[in-house]
């Protein structure tokens, strides 16, 4: 059953969603991002906490902590599988764990190995060739 807020059920065609995900990671212009780092630095200095907890999507706050050499923890609601998938031996990240948004079961059935690999390659290619995402990386320094 698909939740009402999803535009369609998960499927292997969901790789099309990757084309729009760059806006999540690089939604700010270079100038805005630099300004946000400055604002985050003010907050970090003002609070002067021993350790700072930062949300995954708040990259400018992570950058502020790094610039100020402050200890921080990234609060990541992502499943551990999504973080360490590509560090698994034998390329297991490509064939054993289902790609995001596909709805494939875990572990991926043998019949769907190539489909899963294809979806992950589309995701990697989309992010690697996306001009907006590359620009965001340059703004972070």
Asked whether the beta carbons of 131 and 23 are under 8 A apart, the reply is: no
> pTM (2 decimals)?
0.57
Query: What pLDDT does residue 8 have?
Result: 54
Evaluate if residue 1 carries a pLDDT over 60. no
Query: What pLDDT does residue 91 have?
Result: 83
Residue with tokens 């698994």: 88
Return the higher-pLDDT residue of 83 and 87.
Answer: 87
Please write the tens of the pLDDT for every residue from 3-42.
Answer: 565 555 555 555 566 666 656 566 777 788 889 999 999 9
Please write the tens of the pLDDT for every residue from 99-139.
Answer: 877 888 989 999 999 999 988 888 888 777 777 666 555 55
* Nearest C-alpha neighbor of 101 from the set 23, 12, 30: 12
Q: Are strands 52-55 and 72-75 parallel, antiparallel or unpaired?
A: parallel
Asked whether the beta carbons of 56 and 74 are under 8 A apart, the reply is: yes
| Gap between the Cα atoms of 96 and 117, Å rounded | 10
**Stretch 74-93: mean pLDDT, rounded?**
76
Residue 27 C-alpha from the chain's centroid: 13
């Amino acid at each position: 059953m698909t939740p009402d807020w999803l535009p369609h059920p998960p499927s292997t065609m969901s790789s099309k969603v990757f084309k729009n995900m760059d806006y999540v990671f690089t939604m700010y212009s270079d100038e805005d991002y630099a300004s946000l780092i400055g604002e985050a630095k003010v907050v970090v200095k003002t609070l002067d906490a021993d350790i700072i907890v930062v949300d995954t999507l708040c990259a400018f706050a992570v950058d502020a902590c790094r610039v100020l050499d402050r200890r921080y923890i990234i609060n990541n609601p992502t499943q551990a599988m999504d973080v360490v998938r590509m560090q698994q031996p034998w390329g297991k990240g490509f064939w054993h764990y289902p790609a995001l948004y596909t709805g494939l079961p875990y572990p991926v059935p043998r019949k769907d190995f190539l489909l899963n690999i294809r979806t992950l390659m589309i995701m990697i290619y989309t992010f690697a060739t996306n001009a907006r995402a590359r620009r965001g990386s340059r703004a972070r320094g």
